[in-house]
Structure formats: C-alpha cells, structure tokens
Amino acid sequence: MMKFTVTAFVFLICTAALLSTTEGIPQMSRRCQCIQTHSGRPIPTGRILSLKVIPAGPHCKNEEIIATLKKVQLCLNPSEDWVISLKKEINKRNLTNSN
C-alpha cells in the first residue's frame, strides 16, 4: 500500500510540474503572424471588410496589420503611407459607427 501511495504522489508532482511550464498560452501566438507583407498597389478601402492591428510586443517586434478581403487575408506594411491613411480612416469609421 505504501509503495502505491509514493508512486501516486510522484506522479502528481510530475504532472503538476509539466502543467505549470505551459502557462496556458498556445505556442502559435508567440510569433509573428505576418511573414510577408503586401507590396503591391494600394487596396481600395471599399474592398477591405476588416482590418486587424496587432501592436508590437513579446510575440513579435513589428506591428502587424492584417486586412481581410472577400476571399483572402493580406498582411500590410505598416510603414507605407497608404496603410497609415487606411488605419486612420478605418478608426474614424469605427468611431462613427459606435456612436
């Protein structure tokens, strides 16, 4: 009986140690989502369904901007002038819609 209790106790300690190292954060969220950014012509705002802005942080050193169009998602270069204007326009549109 004592042998079983010791084995169960060691098993519980090992399980607790393994679970505490995962921190409950999926590994995929710990890296940049945008490997490549759109470098073509500016996208008309009417074609963009939504714009997701992910600020730089421990997961990625760059700000990431992901535009959702009808059939595809594109990562946009946050330093391009038209993308900066697009962000401002989308923010203005969201503020107007929420009031």
Domains defined for the chain, CATH in brackets: 2-98 (2.40.50.40)
Integer Cα distance of 88 and 68 in angstroms: 16
Q: What confidence score (pLDDT) does residue 68 get?
A: 94
Higher confidence at residue 63 or residue 5? Answer: 63
Does pLDDT of 19 surpass 60? Answer: no
Q: Give the containing element (helix H, strand E) for 2.
A: helix 2-22
- The dihedral built from the CA positions of residue 9, 10, 14 and 20, taken in this order, carries a sign that is positive
Q: Is the pLDDT of residue 80 over 80?
A: yes
User: pLDDT tens-digit profile of 21-50?
Assistant: 544 444 445 689 998 998 788 998 889 898
13's tokens? 């300690």
Residue 13: pLDDT band (50, 70, 90) is: low
Would you tell me how many other CB atoms lie within 10 Å of the CB of residue 24? 6
**Between 20 and 6, residue with greater pLDDT:** 6
* CA 78/CA 61 separation, integer angstroms: 13
Q: Which positions ≥6 away from 83 have C-beta within 8 Å?
A: 65, 76, 77
Looking at the whole model, is its pTM more than 0.85? Answer: no
Report, in angstroms and rounded to the nearest whole number, the Rg of the chain calculated over CA atoms: 23
Would you put residue 71 in left (φ > 0), alpha (ψ -120 to 50) or beta? Answer: alpha
